[in-house]
Amino acid sequence: MQPFFEFAIGSLLALFPVVDPVGGAPIFLVLTTDASQSVRRRLAQRTALYVLLVLLLFLLIGGGILRFLASH
């Protein structure tokens, strides 16, 4: 089980700069200045869900895409 946790932590650390939540937070706040706190929370949750789904999608099919592009 140890290698799995090392892989998971390494993957999360590698994805952190790609997703850049620290850099995206000010942009989100500026874009939602007129929104109420509840609307902001809902938008943040929805955005986080979409980012997670896109990352999972590319985790599942990314290798195939790279193999396809490398063969052409």
Residue 55: Cβ-neighbour burial (10 angstroms; 0-12, 13-18, 19+): middle
- What whole-number distance in Å separates Cα of residue 1 and Cα of residue 9? 13
Q: Residues 18-68: pLDDT tens digits?
A: 888 899 999 999 999 999 999 999 999 999 999 889 988 988 898 999 999
Maximum separation of any 2 CA atoms in the chain, in Å: 50
pLDDT of res. 49: 94
DSSP state of 47: H
pLDDT of res. 2: 87
pTM, full prediction: 0.71
